[in-house]
Amino acid sequence: MFVKSVMVKREKCFKLSPADSVQKGIELLEKHQIDALPVVEGNKYKGIFTWYHAYRAHFESGLDKEEFLKTVRAADILVNQDVHLTVNAVYEEALLKLNNFPIIAVVDGTEFLGIVTRYDVMNQLQSAFGNQRKGVRISFTSAETEGRIARLADIIDKFHESVISLVTFDETDKLVRRIVLKVEKKNNIDRFLKELGKAGFRVLDITED
């Protein structure tokens, strides 16, 4: 999945210009109940303005609150000038770069296109795990050999299971892969689990929403 599928386009973004005061930035954050703003000059991306960096800059400045808010500009305390994504970046890249920030800019060269928020990425992650639909979640392991996912697909097809989500993880042991499968609840789940076991899949946990 590409970040463009979860990007908030620039027309819908709340933004600051580099010349805006810290006070204006804080007011926008409070008004819209958000944690960060892109700083843009025209359509050129400049960086990110955040609560945390504003407070830290105030602490380090030695200025009183009113003077700091009115005289210090967004350009003076912005961060992540060189941290951004392209519109064709994959979802996993956004997940890694959002590790310590609430938003990340999406750019084309230096042109600001929009933002990806940590909230939207987490929603997509929940969707990938099927958290938004009720069903039966089955965690199991499989030997890391060719054809195992195809074998799983055959079993799913045999029992006419309706798959809500399927996620695989690399284990520390490179010979084993962990799989989390969520299917709609049906009355054949015991037979389905038995077939998984016969095919060499080791069931670790079963959870029903």
- Closest alpha carbon to 147 in 139, 158, 155: 155
Q: Picking from 81-90, 125-134, 184-193, which range would have the lowest pLDDT averaged per residue?
A: 125-134
- Alpha-carbon distance 139 to 167, whole Å? 10
Write down the pLDDT at residue 172.
59
Whether 209 and 184 have beta carbons less than 8 Å apart is answered as no
Write down the pLDDT at residue 100.
79
Mean pLDDT for 84-88 is: 89
Structurally, at CATH architecture level, domain 131-208 sits in: 2-Layer Sandwich (3.30)
DSSP 203: E
Residue 99 has pLDDT above 90, yes or no: no
- What percent of the chain shows pLDDT beyond 70? 98
Mean pLDDT for 168-188 is: 83
- Alpha-carbon distance 123 to 132, whole Å? 9
Write down the pLDDT at residue 174.
65
Q: Considering the chain, tell me which residue range(s) the CATH 3.30.70.260 domain(s) occupy.
A: 131-208
Residue 87 has pLDDT above 90, yes or no: no
Residue 141 has pLDDT above 70, yes or no: yes
Mean pLDDT of all residues belonging to the chain: 90
Residue 192 has pLDDT above 90, yes or no: yes
Residue 43 has pLDDT above 90, yes or no: yes
DSSP line for 54-84: HHHHHHHH---HHHHHHH-BHHHH-B-TT-E
Write down the pLDDT at residue 101.
87
Q: Considering the chain, tell me which residue range(s) the CATH 3.10.580.10 domain(s) occupy.
A: 3-125
Write down the pLDDT at residue 118.
85
In the CATH hierarchy, which fold is given to the domain comprising 3-125?
Answer: CBS-domain (3.10.580)
- Alpha-carbon distance 82 to 105, whole Å? 10
Mean pLDDT for 34-48 is: 96
Q: In the structure encoding, which two tokens stand for residue 54, read together? A: 């504003």
